[in-house]
Amino acid sequence: MKEYKYGMRLRGFSPGCQPKEGFLRREDDNMGDYYDIVVYNRPLTEKELSSYELDDLNLRTFRVTYEIVLDIKAADQYEAINIANDMIANGDFAEEPKEVEEL
C-alpha cells in the first residue's frame, strides 16, 4: 500500500489537529523540522493541507545551485540532482551550466 507523509509544522499530533480519513500512524521527525509526521493511505487535498497547516513531504522543493539556480520539486535531493542533470543534458538552458553532483 502506498503511504503519504505530511509534516505538522505548527503543532503536534492531537485530536482534531489532523484529518481522520485515511490516517495510518504518527511518526517522530528525526530531522527536527516538524512537531510530528503523520502518515496516510491517501493523498490529502489542498484544502486539508491548508486547514490543518500541514506540509506535503511527498514532493519537496530542492534548490540546486551552480551557475544558475533552480527550484525543483522531487522526492529527494538525489532525484532533484538527476532532474537538473537531465535538464543540462537536454540543453534546457540558454547558457551552459556545469553538471551538478551534490547539493
| CA distances from residue 73 to 22, 23, 61, 62 in whole angstroms, order as listed | 25, 25, 4, 6
CA dihedral 45, 37, 54, 15 (to 10 degrees): 90
The pTM for the full model equals 0.59
Q: What is the pLDDT of residue 103?
A: 46
The answer to whether residues 10 and 31 belong to one domain is yes
Domain extent for 29: 4-56
**pLDDT tens by residue, the chain, 103 residues:** 889 999 999 999 999 999 999 999 999 988 788 999 999 999 999 999 999 999 988 865 555 555 455 666 776 777 777 777 777 676 665 555 455 555 4
Q: Are 64 and 35 in the same domain?
A: no
50 and 88 share one domain = no
Name the β-bridge partners of 60. 74
Largest CA distance in the chain: 52
Q: Are strands 36-40 and 54-56 parallel, antiparallel or unpaired?
A: unpaired
Q: Quick one: 64 and 90 in the same domain?
A: yes
The reply to whether 37 and 19 lie within a common domain is: yes
Q: Please state whether 16 falls in left (phi above 0), alpha (psi between -120 and 50) or beta.
A: left
Domain shared by 30 and 67, yes or no: no
